[in-house]
Amino acid sequence: MASIISHEIRNPLAVISNATRLLKTLVRPQEPKLIKQFSVIESEIVQANSIINEVLSYARTRKMIFSTIEVNSYLHELISSFPMPAHIKVEERLNSESVCIKVDAEEIKQALRNIITNAVDAMPAGGTLTIGSRAGRRLVCIYIQDTGTGISDEVRKGMFSPFFTTKARGTGLGLAVVRKAIFRHNGKLFIKSELGKGSGFYVFLKIYHKMGDTNYGKASQDFGSR
C-alpha cells in the first residue's frame, strides 16, 4: 500500500516540478514575488518527496547487507557529515579501545542520524550534543546526549510508534525507524531523560572484534548463544 500510494503521489509531484521549471523561464527578473513563490513550490516538492522516502523506508523490509566497521571512525565520519547547526556545540567522547561491530552500516547510520536530528530539534536555542562510545566485554554502547528540553512521560509512551510526532511537520517515523533498525540487529536501546535538562539515547550492539583479539568474532557469537 505504501509503495502504490507513494508512486501515485510522486507522478503528480514530477509534473508539478517540471511545470514549475518551465514557468520560471518565462518569468522576468523584475518579478521577484513570482520568483519567490516558485522557490516555495520547489521547497515543498522536496519536502513531499522526503516524506515519501521516509514512509517507503519504514514500510519496506530489505535484506540487510552486513559489513564489519570500526565504531570510532564510523561515528567520527557520521558526525563530520551531519549538517550541524551553528548554535549546537558537538563533543566527541569515543572509547579508547578500538572495537568492531558487524552491522548493516547504512541502516544503523540512518538510525543514529534520526536520533541526532531529534537531539538537535530539542535544542532550538542552542546546547551541547555529546556523541560517544563505551566498550564492554561483549557489547559496545553508542550514546547520543543533548542538553535540550527533555522528554515527558506522556511522549515517551508513544514516541516509537509509527506516525507519532510532537512536531508541526514530519511523518513521526524517525524514532520508529530507529527502533526497527536496532531490533533487526538484535540490539538494545535505553533512554534517560529529565525535563528541562536533556535526554540521552544509548544503543547497545554486539562486539564482533577487538583489535589484538585472536578470537575473531568470538564475543559476538558468545553473546548470541546466551
> Hey, what's the cell of 7?
508512486
Residue 64: what residue type? Answer: M
Domain boundary among 29, 59, 89: 59
Q: Give the pLDDT band of residue 91 (cuts 50, 70, 90).
A: very high
225 pLDDT above the threshold of 70: no
> 213 and 180 in one domain?
yes
Q: How far apart are CA 118 and CA 164, in angstroms?
A: 13
- Residue 160 contacts residue 175 (beta carbons within 8 Å): yes
Tell whether 124 and 210 lie within a shared domain: yes
Q: How far apart are CA 173 and CA 164, in angstroms?
A: 7
Contact between 90 and 132 (Cβ < 8 Å):
no
Pair 190, 150 in one domain: yes
Q: Could you tell me if 106 and 171 lie in one domain? A: yes
One domain for residues 201 and 109: yes
Shared domain check, 84 and 169? yes
Q: Do residues 27 and 110 share a domain? A: no
Are 190 and 213 in the same domain?
Answer: yes
Mean pLDDT of 105-125: 93
Placement of cell 519496506 in the chain: 60
> Which tens digit of pLDDT belongs to each residue from 30-79?
788 888 888 889 888 887 887 787 777 777 777 889 999 999 999 999 99
Res 15: pLDDT: 92
CA distance 72 to 94: 6
Reference 178, options 161, 192, 194; nearest CA is 161
Q: Tell me: do 179 and 212 sit in the same domain.
A: yes
**Domain range for 31:** 2-59
pLDDT in tens, 177-214: 899 999 999 999 999 999 999 999 999 999 997 666 65
pLDDT band at residue 170, thresholds of 50, 70 and 90? low
Task: Tell me what pLDDT residue 75 has.
Answer: 96
What is the domain-level CATH number for residue 209? 3.30.565.10
pLDDT at residue 55, as a whole number: 78
Quick one: 50 and 139 in the same domain?
Answer: no
Question: Do both 36 and 71 map to the same domain?
Answer: no
